[in-house]
Structures are given as C-alpha cells and as structure tokens.
Structure 1
Amino acid sequence: MMRTTTYGLFLLILFSLASCTRAIKPEALPSHITLGDTYYTQFVMRYEKDVHPTTNYRRGASIPVNTPVRLLKMTNKTIEVEVDNSSQHLTVKNFQKHTGDDVYQAFDKLFAPNKVDLSRFNALEKQHIQNGTVAKGMSKDAVLVAIGYPPMTQTPSLDGNRWVYWSHRFNRFNVHFKDGKVSWVEE
C-alpha cells in the first residue's frame, strides 16, 4: 500500500511540474523578440482584469491598434507587457489548443516593432477599426485589425467565408464574407 501511495504522489508531482509555466530567459527568445523593447498592438485587443486571452473574447475594455507596449516578461504560456508607458500591465494568456499558436506565434500576431499602416483602409474601415467593431463591406484585413484573429477551433483557415469569434466563453458570433468583404455579421 505504501509503495502505491508513494508512486501516486510521485506521478502527481511530476505532472504538476510538467504543467508549470516557465519563464523564458532573454537569451532563449527568438532574435526578433527582446525583453524591454517597445512593440505596437496589431489589432484592437480586449481584456478583463488586465488579462487578454488568445481565445480573443470580444468583451471587456479595449486597447487600440498601434498602442505602444513594452515587453516585460514571457513564459511558455504568457506574455506580460506594460501598456503605453503607464503603470498598466497586461498579461496575454496563450491558449494553444484554441489558436494552434505557441507563445512566440501568438506574440507575432499581437505585437510588432512597427505600427499597422491604417492608410490602406477606407473611412468606414478606419471608423470600425477605431471602435473595435465589424460592419458590412469591411475587408478581411480590416476585420483582423478591428477585432483580431478568430480561434482556429471554429475557423481553421482565414481563407473561408465564415469566421467564428467568441463573445465570451459560451457565446459566439459569425462574420460572413463574400468576395473578401463582410456580407453580414450573425450574433
């Protein structure tokens, strides 16, 4: 009995350690990602309680596209940034099973060293990008900048004509496209 209990305890500790979040050392980061550097948000990000999940729930407060952030820390599951030279910290929690992205791929979708060129969008698209909303007539690129990437569990390819987003954990909404433009939004 003692041997079985000890073995079970050993397995529990082993699984606990395997699932722990590990800080990534600066020298282990890809060459284009540097702790302390400033990056810009690549789409309007929503967050609650200073957390943005990569499942990209469409609720909570927003951070506009092209907002400068300073990279503070990365782990194998999270990205921590300081927003716009303020005391506000935002933690991005990466849910790889929903996005298919490791933390580095998530970083590359969320942040870049350069601002998004908004001049390529028309007035309607710019207005909705600023508001973090979607409207009929917007291009796929404008939708990505306005509300980000849909989870791949329901939208395995951006080439499709229907993108499924999550309003929150239990509610979804669909963005339908025709000829590369939003034809309607189903909430």
Structure 2
Amino acid sequence: MTRYYSSILILLMAFASNSFAADFNPGEKLQLLSNLHPDVARQRLYTMNYQLADLIPMCAEVTVVKKNKKKFIFEWKSVEYTMLYDKHTKKSGVSFDEALQKFFGNKCEADKVKKLSEIDRKGIRKGIPYVGMTKQGVLYAMGHPPPHANPDLDGYTWMYWLNRFKRKAIDFNEKGIVEEVRL
C-alpha cells in the first residue's frame, strides 16, 4: 500500500468510531480517543496538545461540564480540566469542534489497541513514543500532533511541543514505523 493510502486509512480509522455531533452537552459522558497530557497544577490543556509529564489515559471516561467558543471544561476523577482553543490551532483552519473531536468521542478504540504490537501498547500505556511504534500507536499515545506544524499525517516527521519553547520530533520510515525520536 502506498504511503498516501496508508495515511488516508489511518485518518479514516481514527474518525470512524467517533461519529458524533460536537454538542458537548453538560453531563454528557465521553471517552478519550488518545492520551491527554494535562498541566495538572493549572488543570489546563490546549488544543495545541502540549506533551506534558502527566497523563489522562486513553479510554478514560470524562464528563462534560461546559463548552463555549474557546473553552471546553470536563471532569475526570472529580477534577475539572479546561481545554483551551489556542491561536495556533485556530490559525491552521481547524475549528474548536474539529480539534475536540480528535480527543473526545463516544467510544475509544480499545479493541484496536489490543491488536497493536507490544511496543505500541507500551508507548500508549506510558504516553510516550518509542522506536518501532506505528503512526497509529503514536496517535493513541500522544494524541494528534499540532495541526499548524503537521497539516497532514503523511509526513515522515511529526512535531509535538513539550511546552511553549521545546519540541519533540518523531521520525517515521516509509512504512510508518518510528525510526527516531529527537528532542
């Protein structure tokens, strides 16, 4: 399968089980479609998807508290977190609802994770990339990379931000397998 068709397949798989309207009604229960890396001290996340040290695991059930044009507030384990619509995501042409749908859905893909390799499952459990992981495994482990620097997932390198100043590059081979993780 060519790299183009592989990337399309990854995108279709990522969204196939997540067909819901982005209403995000208070009290609604959702599941995380990938790990999230919150700033626990501030109880904050960004659609930019900073790769901070803490982790809310994939498939965790969260409860919608409130949503407006720039903030999505959800509760997990009796703690409220706010996901903010950052300027980089907005400038890249991704709406707030589109960004949220990459992280939240009606059902996570736990069955698909079970079919991935051990290195993929290890990366997903820990929320970090390892050499040998697939693109799908990285998406589950780290979430979608920021769209302003990764407009499509066809590329051989995905950029993630650890914080406002420090980045992490993940290099893939032509088969979509991680070859190197660079800071």
- Common fold: TM-score over 0.5: yes
Partner deviation per Cα, 1:113-136 (whole Å, 9 max, x = no partner): 112222231111111101001011
How far is 1:31 from its partner? Answer: 6.7
Whole-Å separation in 2 of the counterparts to 1:55 and 1:91: 13
Query: Partner of 2:5 in structure 1?
Result: none
Percent identity over paired residues: 26
CA contact (8 A) 1:79 1:103 kept: no
Q: 1:182 aligns with which of 175, 178, 183?
A: 178
Q: Distance in 2 between matches of 1:60 and 1:31?
A: 28
Shift in Å at residue 70 of structure 1? 0.6
When normalised by structure 1's length, the TM-score is 0.78
Deviation string 1:3-33 (CA, Å, 9 cap, x unpaired) is xxxxxxxxxxxxxxxxxxxxxxxxxx94764
- AA in 1 matched with 2:181: V
Alignment check: 8 A CA contact 2:145 2:159 kept: yes
Counterpart of 2:56 in structure 1 is 63
Distance of aligned partners of 1:105 and 1:31 in 2 relative to their CA distance in 1, 3 Å threshold:
closer
Q: Relative contact order (C-alpha < 8 Å, sep 6+): which is higher?
A: 2
C-alpha distance in structure 2 between counterparts of 1:173 and 1:165, whole Å: 5
Q: Report the secondary structure of 1:46's partner residue.
A: coil
For 1:68, give the aligned amino acid: E
When the two chains are superposed, the root-mean-square deviation of aligned CA atoms in Å is 1.8
Residue 22 of structure 1: aligned partner: none
Distance 1:32-1:133 versus aligned 2 partners, 3 A rule: same
Structure 2 alignment gaps of length 5 or more: 1-19
For the 8 Å contact 2:172–2:179, the answer to whether it is kept is yes
C-alpha displacement at 1:96, in angstroms? 4.9
- Matches of 2:136 and 2:51, distance apart in 1: 18
For structure 1, the residue ranges without an aligned partner over 5 or more in a row are 1-28
Pairwise CA distance, 1:101: 2.2
Counterpart in 2 of 1:72? 65
**Corresponding position of 1:129:** 124
TM-score w.r.t. the length of structure 2 is 0.80
Q: CA deviation at 1:165?
A: 0.7
Question: Which residue pairs with 1:169 in the alignment?
Answer: 164
